[in-house]
Structure formats: structure tokens, C-alpha cells
């Protein structure tokens, strides 16, 4: 009897099924490498642009000279070295850290909620941070310092997140829909409190509150970098560690439990990591919108939904986006420093709407 023609196809299927899987992974690795190089190049270029212009080669020479490598290209401007290390580099490094933290937090939120439109503000951390900062500004008045505002924003952001999570628990479990609705309610209350504080504030305090909400990296220092760096990097690292469990959660809660995932514990860890990364990011910079929403969405379109690639790619992508956005914010208008949060919203909003239309068009049009 002759062998059925379908048997060779079945025997070859394992090899065929493995081949397509390697392509998204390889594409994701290449994307991470490309974005990492882009972030470093953008950082070098951004550090050299400003009232004191420093060529990229001299910027690179200054950095290498600090680690003992002399390439014979130091800043030729008399104030070039001090401008780089006191003003420019802290701002660039803070932009890299905050951008990476916000984008990673967004990717983590989208994985936990199973929704590509989720972002960190859903759990109230941004609104809570704004209320904390505004409270410190109103209560402290002229005696308030930037460090006090940052500390109040950080602590209030964490407290608001934990409040949202506590209110959303029922029967020892937390449903995603309940968490979202609780977050919406808490965000509404926080917005009302922020409006009340703004109304009660003096003219100077009111201007400070408004400016903080618009977001800016102006005045970044190495002390701020030293505080944000460990929190942001620890949050990003921990997010990558739990990436595989987030992938399993995307199969559904029941399937994830059968595969050994403690879903409730995973959600708690994810929410805490998002709160830490977002609160540390906005504490010194104010609210910067759309980075945590647009960047993971773009990465997912290119590299696929696997979080072991999505999260690190989102981190370097967010770092690149925020460095470029800050460069535009401080150079678009001469002798002016545009609010960074305003700029990301103006660009990110229409761009994200375009992505939504493009995605819906591929799926067969608008519902």
C-alpha cells in the first residue's frame, strides 16, 4: 500500500512551525539594538546642542576622558566642559531614565490589563502625584523646595495606587474591570482635589502648580539622577524578570493558573512596579503624557506581543523618544523651554489616533 501524501507534510511540520517563531524574536533583538544605538546617539547630539554649541565628537571625547580614554577631542569652548557636566548631561540622563521608566510601566500595564490602550495613569499614580505636588506647593508657600515637591509627588503617587488597589479588591481577588473603574473614580476625585488646590493657591503657587503639571526636565541635577536611577532601573529589571509570567497571563487567567502562575500575586507585583517607576519618573519632571501609551504600542506593532522583547524594547524606545522630545522642547523656540508634557501630548495624541485608525483599518474598519 502506498504511503498517504499527507504524511511527509506532517513530519515536516515541527521544522516549519519553528521557523516562523524565530523571526519575531530576531526582529525584536534587532529592534532593541537599533533603539539602544539611537538613544545613545541622540543623547550625544542633545548634549551638544544649546546656546553653547559643542560638536558630537567633542561631547564623546569629554565622556571618554572622564573614564580615562583620551581621543584628543575635548570641548573647545571655554565653558564647554562645565556646560556638559553641570547642565546638559544630567538633563539627558534624566530624560533617558524617565522615558525608559514610563514606557516600561506602560508596557507592563498593557500586559496586566490585556489591553494595548492601558497606561500607568489608569491606576491613579499620575493624578495622585499631581495632588501631592500641589499640596506641598500650597501648604509650603514660598518656603517650599523642589525636593519637597518631588518627595510629596512620589509618596502621594504610591499612596494613590495602593488606595486604588485596596478599593478594587473583593473576596481576596482583584478583577481587571473593577480595578479600571476604581482607577477612573479615584482619578476623578484627584482631579477635583487638584482643581480645589489650584483655586486656593496664591498666584505664584498657582503658576507653579500649572507648570508642574505640564512637565519639564529644566533644572535637572545629578542629585535627581541619583534618586531616580535606582528606582527606575530596579523597576525595569524586575519587570523584565516577570515578563514570561505576563506572557502566560495573556493566555487567560484560568490557563495561567493551570501553568503555575499566581495571578493575584503577579498583579500585585506589576501594580507596585508600575507605581514605583511612574512615581519616580514624574516626581522631578511633572506629568509627561503619552510616552507610556504610544511607545509600547509601537514596539508591539514591530516586534510582536512577547513581553520578554516588548519590555526591554519599550525601555530603550521610551528613552530615545523622551531625549528627542526634550531636545525639541528646548530648541524649537529660541531662548524658551517649552513644557515637555505639553509637547508629548500635542505630538502623541494625533499620532496615536493615526495608529488606532491604521490598526482598525487592518482589522476590517471601524466598528
Q: How many helices (H) and strands (E) does the chain have?
A: 15, 2
Whether residue 200 contacts residue 138, with contact meaning beta carbons closer than 8 Å, is answered with yes
Distance CA 186, CA 183 (A): 5
SS (H, E, C) 137-175: HHHHHHHCCHHHHHHHHHHHHHHHHHHHHHHHEECCEEC
Provide CB contacts within 8 A for 338, sequence distance 6+: 328, 329, 330, 332
- The full set of domains in the chain, from first to last, is 50-359 (1.10.3470.10)
**Residue 2 pLDDT greater than 50, yes or no:** no
Three-state secondary structure readout of 105-122? HHHHHHHHHCCCCCCHHH
Grid cell in block for residue 151: 518627595
In the block, residue with C-alpha cell 548631561? 89
Which pTM value belongs to this model? 0.87
Q: pLDDT digit string (tens) for 35-93? A: 999 999 999 999 999 888 999 999 999 999 888 888 878 888 889 899 999 999 999 99
Mean pLDDT, the chain, as a whole number? 85
pLDDT value for 311: 96
Judge contact between 197 and 141, C-beta under 8 A: no
What is the pLDDT, as a whole number, of residue 219?
86
What are 357's three cell numbers? 485608525
More confident residue, 192 or 172: 192
Asked whether residue 19 carries a pLDDT value surpassing 60, the answer given is no
The pLDDT value given to residue 141 = 64
Of 297, 249, 324, 305, residue with least CA distance to 46: 324
Burial label, 27 (beta-carbon count in 10 A; 0-12, 13-18, 19+): middle
**Helix/strand/coil for 173:** strand
Residue 11 has pLDDT above 50, yes or no: no
Q: Three-state DSSP class for 168? A: helix
Q: Answer whether 278's CB lies under 8 Å from 105's CB.
A: yes
Distance between CA atoms of residues 130 and 286, nearest Å: 8
Cβ 268 vs Cβ 165: under 8 Å: yes
Locate 76 and state its grid cell: 573647545
Sign of CA dihedral 163, 253, 289, 47: positive
Amino acid at each position: 500500500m502506498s504511503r498517504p501524501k499527507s504524511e511527509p507534510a506532517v513530519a515536516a511540520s515541527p521544522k516549519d512551525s519553528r521557523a516562523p517563531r524565530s523571526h519575531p524574536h530576531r526582529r525584536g533583538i534587532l529592534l532593541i539594538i537599533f533603539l539602544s544605538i539611537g538613544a545613545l546617539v541622540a543623547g550625544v547630539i542633545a548634549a551638544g546642542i544649546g546656546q553653547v554649541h559643542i560638536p558630537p565628537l567633542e561631547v564623546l571625547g569629554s565622556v571618554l576622558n572622564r573614564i580615562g580614554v583620551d581621543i584628543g577631542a575635548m570641548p573647545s569652548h571655554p565653558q564647554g566642559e562645565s556646560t556638559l557636566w553641570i547642565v546638559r548631561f544630567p538633563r539627558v540622563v534624566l530624560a533617558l531614565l524617565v522615558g525608559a521608566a514610563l514606557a516600561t510601566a506602560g508596557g507592563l500595564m498593557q500586559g496586566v490589563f490585556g489591553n494595548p490602550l492601558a497606561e500607568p495613569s489608569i491606576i491613579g499614580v499620575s493624578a495622585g502625584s499631581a495632588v501631592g505636588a500641589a499640596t506641598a506647593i500650597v501648604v509650603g508657600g514660598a518656603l517650599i523646595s523642589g525636593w519637597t515637591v518631588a518627595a510629596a509627588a512620589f509618596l502621594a503617587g504610591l499612596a494613590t495606587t495602593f488606595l486604588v488597589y485596596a478599593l478594587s479588591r473583593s473576596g481576596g481577588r482583584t478583577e481587571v474591570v473593577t480595578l479600571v473603574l476604581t482607577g477612573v473614580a479615584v482619578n476623578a476625585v484627584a482631579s477635583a482635589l487638584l482643581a480645589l488646590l489650584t483655586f486656593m493657591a496664591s498666584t505664584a503657587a498657582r503658576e507653579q502648580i500649572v507648570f508642574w503639571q505640564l512637565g519639564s526636565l529644566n533644572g535637572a541635577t545629578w542629585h535627581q539622577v541619583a534618586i531616580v536611577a535606582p528606582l527606575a532601573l530596579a523597576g525595569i529589571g524586575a519587570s523584565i524578570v516577570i515578563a514570561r509570567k505576563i506572557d502566560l497571563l495573556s493566555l487567560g487567567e484560568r490557563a495561567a493558573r493551570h501553568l503555575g502562575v499566581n495571578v493575584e500575586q503577579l498583579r500585585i507585583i506589576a501594580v507596585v512596579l508600575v507605581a514605583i517607576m511612574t512615581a519616580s519618573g514624574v516626581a522631578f519632571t511633572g506629568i509627561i503624557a503619552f510616552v507610556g501609551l504610544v511607545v509600547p504600542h509601537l514596539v508591539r506593532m514591530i516586534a510582536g506581543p512577547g513581553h520578554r522583547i516588548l519590555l526591554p524594547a519599550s525601555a530603550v524606545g521610551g528613552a530615545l523618544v523622551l531625549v528627542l522630545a526634550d531636545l525639541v522642547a528646548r530648541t524649537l523656540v529660541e531662548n524658551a523651554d517649552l513644557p515637555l508634557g505639553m509637547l508629548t501630548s500635542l505630538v502623541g495624541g494625533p499620532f496615536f489616533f493615526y495608529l488606532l485608525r491604521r490598526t482598525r483599518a487592518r482589522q476590517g474598519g471601524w466598528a
